[in-house]
Amino acid sequence: MRKTPRALTKILRDARVGNPAEQPVFRAEAEDKKMRFFGFVEIDGTEYECATPAGRIARFPDIDAMVKYLAGCVETATGDYAVTIGTDILLVKAQPTDLVAWAADEVVRLGVKKTAQQAVVTGIDAQLALMVDWENTGNALQRAKKLEVQAQKAAVLEDIAAIDAEVVRLTP
């Protein structure tokens, strides 16, 4: 059933009379590859389609817009808006017709990505070389910066390991 923002507010208010702990459940369905969404709210076991004040189907250009809409009419007790997003097959990659050729091309592409990531690690190492002993002698901002750079390096090294694993998977 399609409901305007005011109607959703009333439905949630009425549901909370009988159950003060009633929390709405949110769901978004992608309309197209541009990631525009239709919104749905489940209150007291019934799902409603979000509508504009004029009663038209509400189409949201992004999830941020949907959350703003929801916050204005079906507020949660905690301020948290967990939205399940359904994209069906809109974002699924097309399957290649020649998997062997695709795998060979993918290995080459991943090799280029790995080289780029190794260059990132080299740049991070150069930064870390300038931050020697900041964890002991640096001020709070310097210590935080070094921790951030170390976390960045760990993430890039993990990405390189994931690239290596994918190359092994794709190589016969």
Residue whose structure tokens are 């998997």: 99
3-state secondary structure of 58: coil
- What pLDDT shows up at residue 14? 95
* Cα 54–Cα 58–Cα 60 angle in degrees, nearest 5: 140
Measured CA to CA, the distance from residue 71 to residue 74 in angstroms comes to 6
Other Cβ atoms within 10 Å of 66 Cβ, number: 25
pLDDT at residue 4 tops 90: yes
Q: One-letter amino acid identity for 52?
A: T
CA 57, CA 54: separation in Å to the nearest integer?
9
**The pLDDT value given to residue 157:** 96
pLDDT at 77: 80
Say what the pLDDT of residue 172 is. Answer: 82
Q: Report CA 160 to chain centroid distance, whole Å.
A: 22
Residue 17 has pLDDT above 90, yes or no: yes
Identify the pLDDT of residue 141. Answer: 96
Per the model's pLDDT, the better-predicted residue between 77 and 56 turns out to be 56
Tens digit of each residue's pLDDT (9 = 90 or more) over 108-134: 999 999 999 999 999 999 999 999 999
Q: What is the pLDDT of residue 35?
A: 85
CB 63 within 8 A of CB 28: yes
